[in-house]
Amino acid sequence: VNRAFEQLRRRVAEVTDLEAVVMLLEWDFEVMMPRAATTVRGEQLATAERVAHERLTDPEVGRLLDELEPAVDGLDPDTFEASLVRVVRRDFEKARRVSADLRADLARAAADGHAVWVEARERSDFTRFRPALERNLELKLRYVACFDGYDDPYDVLLDDYEPDLKTAEAAEVLDRLREELVPLVAERTGEVLDDSFLTGTFPVQQQRELERRLLPLLGYDEETWRLDDIVHPAQFGLAPTDIRISTRYSEHTLESLFSVLHEFGHGLYERQVDPALTRTPLAGGASLGLHESQSRLWENLVGRGLPFCRFLYPQLQEAFPEQLGEITLDRFYRAINKVKPSLIRVDADEVTYNLHIVLRFELERELLGGRLPLDSLPDAWNERMHRYLGVEVPDDARGVLQDSHWSGGGFGYFPTYSLGNVASVQIWQRAREALPALDDDLERGDFSGLREWLRDVLHRNGRKFTPRETMERAAGAALDPGPYLDYLREKSAEIYRLTARK
Ligand code: ZN
C-alpha cells in the first residue's frame, strides 16, 4: 500500500507540475509575451494541457486508486493520504469522461471565440460574435452530454468551478439577492453623494510607491510574490512559494489600489496552503466561490471598511495632496462605498455588482436550456439591465459584449462571483468573533491576526475538502445570503445617513 501511495503521489506530482507549466505559459502570455507569438503559444498551451490530461487519465491512476481506496477507508478523512485519494478519484473520474477530441475542440473554439470577441467588442457589433458564441454553446452541450446524474444541464458546467453545488442551490442564493437588492438599489439611486474627487489626477508613480509600502504590511514578500502590470488584473498561484498578482493603472482613478487588494486576497489563499500539499492537486483553493470570498474580503470588507480607511487615508492624502488634501476621511469613506448603478460589471460597487451577476446567470441558463434564442440575447440583456439597475445600455460593447467569459466557453463561471461575496461576509463575521481587536488592528495597519486566522480556518486546507465542507469549517455554517444582505443594507444606511448629516 505504501508503494502504491508513493506511485500515485509521483504521478499526480507530474500532473500538477504540468498544470503549473500551463499557468506559467498563461502568465507569460498576459504579462511578457511578444504579441506575434499568440498563435504558437496557443499550440504550446494545447500540447501541455493534452499531456497533463493524458497523465491524469492514465488507466494506471485508476488501478492505484482501486488499490488504495480500501486502505484509506479507515483513515481520518482529514489525513493527507485520505484526502489525496479522495480528490484524485474525483478529478480522475471527471477528466476521463471527456474525450481528447472534444477537449481539443473546446480549446480551439475558446481561442477562436476570444479573438472574434475582441474584434466584435471593438466594433460594438454582436452579430460578428454570434457564430462563435453559437459554436461555444453547441460544444458546451456536447460536454454536458458526457456526464449523467444531473438535475439540470447547467449543473455540469457549474460543477467545474463550484464542485458539488447544484444549480437550484445557486439559484436560491441569486434569486434572493435579486429580490432584495433591486429595491435597495432603486432606493439609493436618487440620493446625492459626492464622489467627484475620486476621478482626477493620481500620478501612477505615486500609486506604485503607495502599493509597494502597503503590500509588505499585508503579507506580501519579494521572495515569494510578484506584482506586474497587466490588461486584465489576475492572480496566478503557481505554487505556495510562487504567487504572481497583477494590476493595471489609470492616472485618473484609484482603481488599481482596490484591484491590488483583490488580487492580494486571491494570492494569500494560495500562499497559505499547507506547504506539505505542494505539487499535489490539494494545493489551491477549494472552489472559485471560496477563492472570490478571499479577494472580496480584502478588497471590500478590509479595503472599503472604516478601520482600514483610517489607517490608509492619511497616506493617500500625502501621496495625492492636490486631489485629496481638502477631502475629509468621512467623505472619502462614503465616496468609495457609493451605490451607483453602472453599465460595466468590473466597475460596479458592492451593492449593484451582484445584479450584474444575476443577469448573466439567468441569461446563460436560458441560452443553454434553449429558452432564449441567440438573436434575442442583446435585447434580453438590455431589458434586464433596465429592470434590475435602471440603466439604459447604449451599445453592445457596454452591454452583452463587455465580458470575455462567454467567448472562451466559460458558462457557469459567473455565479461564483456572487457566491464569493456571500461567503466573504459569513467568514468575516466569524473572524470578528474570533478576533475582538480586529478593528483596532486594521486601524494600526496590523494585518497579522486576520491573516493567520484565515490560514488556520481556511487557507491551509487547500482543496482537501469539498467547497461545502470547507465553507462549514471556515464560516461554521452553510452558504447563506442573509448575513451578506444585512451587511449591505446596514453599510449603505450608514453611508447615506452620514451624507444626510454632512
Ligand atoms: Zn477575483
Edge-to-edge order in the sheet of strand 235-239: 225-229, 242-247, 235-239
How far are the Cα atoms of 33, 118, 136, 141, 298 from residue 46, in angstroms, in the given order?
A: 17, 21, 17, 21, 34
Cell numbers placing 250: 489609470
Of 19, 49, 263, 270, which residue is the catalytic one? Answer: 263
Rounded distance from Cα 65 to ligand 1 centre (Å)? 34
3-state secondary structure 351-372: HHHHHHHHHHHHHHHHHHCCCC
Q: What is the pLDDT along the chain (502 residues), one digit of tens a residue?
A: 899 999 999 999 999 999 999 999 999 998 999 989 988 988 899 899 999 999 999 999 999 999 999 999 999 999 999 999 999 999 999 999 999 889 989 988 998 898 899 999 999 999 999 999 999 999 999 999 999 989 999 999 999 999 999 999 999 999 999 999 999 999 988 788 999 999 999 999 999 999 999 999 999 999 999 999 988 889 999 999 999 999 999 999 999 999 999 999 999 999 999 999 999 999 999 999 999 999 999 999 999 999 999 999 999 999 999 999 999 999 999 999 999 999 999 999 999 999 999 999 999 999 999 999 999 999 999 999 999 999 999 999 999 999 999 999 999 999 999 999 999 999 999 999 999 999 999 999 999 999 999 999 999 999 999 999 999 999 999 999 999 999 999 999 999 886 555 4
Parallel/antiparallel/unpaired status of strands 235-239 and 242-247: antiparallel
Query: What is the dihedral angle through the alpha carbons of 198, 199, 200, 206, rounded to the nearest 10 degrees?
Result: 60
Rounded distance from Cα 289 to ligand 1 centre (Å)? 9
Q: Which of 136, 55, 141, 46 is CA-nearest to residue 368?
A: 141
Give Cβ neighbours of residue 433 (< 8 Å, ≥ 6 apart).
Answer: none
Q: Which of 247, 254, 245, 253 is CA-nearest to residue 232?
A: 247
Angle, in degrees to the nearest 10, between helices 38-57 and 100-123 = 150
Residue 227 backbone dihedrals phi, psi, to 5 degrees:
-130, 120
122 is catalytic: no
Rounded distance from Cα 484 to ligand 1 centre (Å)? 18
For 100-136, b/e burial (b = at least 16 CB within 10 A) is: eeebebbbebbbbbeebbeebbeeeebebbbebbebb
The rounded distance, in Å, linking the Cα atoms of 21 and 205 is 32
Q: Which residues partner with 236 through β-bridges? A: 244
This prediction's pTM: 0.96
Rounded distance from Cα 148 to ligand 1 centre (Å)? 30
Give Cβ neighbours of residue 410 (< 8 Å, ≥ 6 apart).
Answer: 404
- On whether the CB atoms of residues 183 and 485 are closer than 8 A, the answer is no
Rounded distance from Cα 417 to ligand 1 centre (Å)? 7
Rounded distance from Cα 292 to ligand 1 centre (Å)? 5
Q: Which residues partner with 235 through β-bridges? A: 245
Those residues whose beta carbon sits under 5 angstroms from the ion ligand 1 are 295
Q: Which of 357, 38, 49, 374 is CA-nearest to residue 176?
A: 357
The rounded distance, in Å, linking the Cα atoms of 214 and 264 is 11
The rounded distance, in Å, linking the Cα atoms of 56 and 399 is 39
The rounded distance, in Å, linking the Cα atoms of 387 and 383 is 6
Rounded distance from Cα 363 to ligand 1 centre (Å)? 21
- On whether the CB atoms of residues 161 and 412 are closer than 8 A, the answer is yes
Rounded distance from Cα 301 to ligand 1 centre (Å)? 14
